[in-house]
Structure 1
């Protein structure tokens, strides 16, 4: 499986067109079972490996359980419709995902002035910025010009508190969390791709046992899928503290690497169309609680690789199927949130932290790769991880400013190793 670090791939927006440069069709091709199966696996892996991060992020910025469930449903639906449209229109396995690093950013940001409605407004602005990026190439080049080390240091700092959550959860809920960690460790050795999914299944079983033993009751009426619409509120703290960092993280850690993954399989993503669809999807889903959708990066390989189908021209079926599967998964979002709300303390945080460990490792590796900029990267990381806020603006924004300023200030006084 091709691996791409969630980082900026170049200093300019990738050269992308609306046509595929896929390889010739092999003389022998299997039926539809292979791409259909690959699509289902793509959706299941994408959903189960990071939904906990999404719920944690939405809750952190003020969402109630019902609003968080609505946000998860909105993300599933908007990315499903988007990938079905793009894959069918361009006959490419273009897969979409929610912004997992963006959700982690929300955890570090926490509540902002104006609460949940202000966060909704920031989500809308993020979508607008993504659409503008697809239309106006200069903005895309500006984002791509943000130094990789600085962007990844900011991301690593955002992820740190969540990656520490499993450690803290061992103390609060050892009976559930310890088995989850053991299963995850074993799968890291024998089947790394399935480690987070196995951890989620173990957590679900542990939570179910805990609910039964403690005779807790589930609110069955809350398990029905529903959409909770919130009118956006506009304030500058949320715009700067949520919208700007969320846009930067989504572009730098998802959209640009996502195009690189597709290029590695000889597909050239329709850049303008992809950003227009994901940006509009973010705008439409925001009032229901969806924070951001984007091009899938690492998980895109499940639909774009030869394992999905030997014929590159038929792998779009896998992406289309993944979209259809996400529509079905959306129906279970409220039930999932209801069960998690009754689970022992730390269960959700443990699964979310384990899901982000690989992303954090890649971010730290990229951030500290250059000795010349290591000091500025470390400061960026620390400011981001601190969660410090000034004027109602979260640490991620200040970390980005500090990193860029120090990078320029110290550039002439350092040398590469």
Structure 2
């Protein structure tokens, strides 16, 4: 077998899955915690949400990779968490947000059951979906630069570490920034002040409430960004490496796990997109039929991280002001760049994308519904106006 002995290649696949899990967790857990806290979760509920997300996506990786013999990796919805982080506490508090999470999960599962619904989601112009995401991310991505001005001693070492690793080991830039943040916290004595009892993860059951405005403002955009920015691209990544698991099974699982996990505070899980390549590519194993091992080890890694949910949340709460937001912002810069490029890349839809982006970034609230939804509505109206203009020009030319 090319690339070494079978045993050596298997060990490499296990290591690739572990790396996939480590990168997936460390690169965006700060975004998840920021998002959950923004919509009203207290520290215990946020820790519970992190635990539930790790368990559900870890089990999904193990079950689907083992059963299908494909490197199926799952992740929490990072764009969805970013959407929450840019929101405000809904009128009904965190229980109302949980109701929106449940609805999001149900809609994802329905996409697996009802093919026309999946096609409807796919019909949303990519430029507008990307613009909505870019607008949401913009406010988060400026956080590191604001924080470094107000707290240079704590933030500058983190940003400098990130910059150096972008130049020499880009995959590890965000985990490296996290490591630098841990050093800053250690120097400032944060860990000595942690409550050991808070480190034990505990499930906090949240009874959802159903607020129509929150369902529209949170549930619908969360569903859209999870499908368009994670599930659909995740399927494309797997297909690029020759794996076609079908959408039905993964959507039913991730939708059902999202709806059930919402009761424990988790917002949404989905097929992994960017990190999926770490387990599905030839670097994981020279034999495509053996890369499923990487998917299993990635899932086990996520399950292990679940045990650390309480400790991670307690440390994030005790961190210097702006430090967690800095990690989150740095983690999302690449996603923002890709979303903005997709939003503004096509001249035919550029104006509609620009309107969607700026409205989504504005932070406006109308009829109790947030800016992400209204950004998409505004973009669709501009897109319709542009289409009418093109038809008029063609008619006049004829």
Same fold judged by TM-score > 0.5? Answer: yes
User: How far apart, CA to CA, are the structure 2 residues paired with 1:367 and 1:53?
Assistant: 22
Q: Partner residue of 2:256?
A: 280
Question: What stretches of structure 1 move > 2 A for 4+ residues in a row?
Answer: 25-30, 411-415
Q: Partner residue of 1:320?
A: 296
Aligned length: 389
Instruction: Quote the offset at 1:211 in angstroms.
Output: 2.4
Structure 2 length-normalised TM: 0.95
Measured against aligned partners, the alpha-carbon deviations of 1:397-416 in whole angstroms (never above 9, x if no partner) come to 1111111111011224369x
User: How far apart, CA to CA, are the structure 2 residues paired with 1:360 and 1:111?
Assistant: 23
Superposition map of 1:13-412 within 5 A:
30-31=6-7, 32-211=10-189, 217-412=193-388
Measured against aligned partners, the alpha-carbon deviations of 1:29-62 in whole angstroms (never above 9, x if no partner) come to 5222111111111100000000000000000000
Measured against aligned partners, the alpha-carbon deviations of 1:137-170 in whole angstroms (never above 9, x if no partner) come to 0000000000011111100000001100001111
Instruction: Quote the offset at 1:269 in angstroms.
Output: 2.1
User: How far apart, CA to CA, are the structure 2 residues paired with 1:222 and 1:312?
Assistant: 43
Instruction: Quote the offset at 1:220 in angstroms.
Output: 1.4
Measured against aligned partners, the alpha-carbon deviations of 1:177-198 in whole angstroms (never above 9, x if no partner) come to 0000101111111111110010
Structure 1 length-normalised TM: 0.91
Describe the shift of the 1:414–1:349 C-alpha distance in structure 2 as closer, same or farther (beyond 3 A).
Answer: farther
User: How far apart, CA to CA, are the structure 2 residues paired with 1:270 and 1:149?
Assistant: 25
User: How far apart, CA to CA, are the structure 2 residues paired with 1:172 and 1:228?
Assistant: 35
User: How far apart, CA to CA, are the structure 2 residues paired with 1:329 and 1:27?
Assistant: 30
Contact preservation (8 Å) 1:164, 1:353:
yes
Q: Partner residue of 2:394?
A: none
Contact preservation (8 Å) 2:3, 2:286:
no
The unaligned stretches of length 5 or more in structure 2 are 392-398
User: How far apart, CA to CA, are the structure 1 residues paired with 2:192 and 2:164?
Assistant: 31
User: How far apart, CA to CA, are the structure 2 residues paired with 1:371 and 1:412?
Assistant: 16
Contact preservation (8 Å) 1:208, 1:343:
no
Describe the shift of the 1:211–1:375 C-alpha distance in structure 2 as closer, same or farther (beyond 3 A).
Answer: same
Describe the shift of the 1:27–1:65 C-alpha distance in structure 2 as closer, same or farther (beyond 3 A).
Answer: closer
User: How far apart, CA to CA, are the structure 2 residues paired with 1:71 and 1:28?
Assistant: 41
Q: Partner residue of 2:396?
A: none
Instruction: Quote the offset at 1:216 in angstroms.
Output: 6.3
Contact preservation (8 Å) 1:46, 1:299:
yes
Measured against aligned partners, the alpha-carbon deviations of 1:294-331 in whole angstroms (never above 9, x if no partner) come to 00001000110111111111111110111111111111
User: How far apart, CA to CA, are the structure 1 residues paired with 2:268 and 2:257?
Assistant: 8
Contact preservation (8 Å) 1:373, 1:414:
no
Q: Please provide the CA RMSD for this pair.
A: 1.5
Q: Partner residue of 1:4?
A: none
Describe the shift of the 1:42–1:216 C-alpha distance in structure 2 as closer, same or farther (beyond 3 A).
Answer: closer
Measured against aligned partners, the alpha-carbon deviations of 1:352-380 in whole angstroms (never above 9, x if no partner) come to 00000000000010000111211111111
Q: Which range moved further: 109-118 or 154-163?
A: 109-118
The alignment partner of 2:283 has SS state of helix
Contact preservation (8 Å) 1:120, 1:233:
yes
Q: Partner residue of 1:22?
A: none
Instruction: Quote the offset at 1:26 in angstroms.
Output: 7.0
The alignment partner of 1:306 has SS state of coil
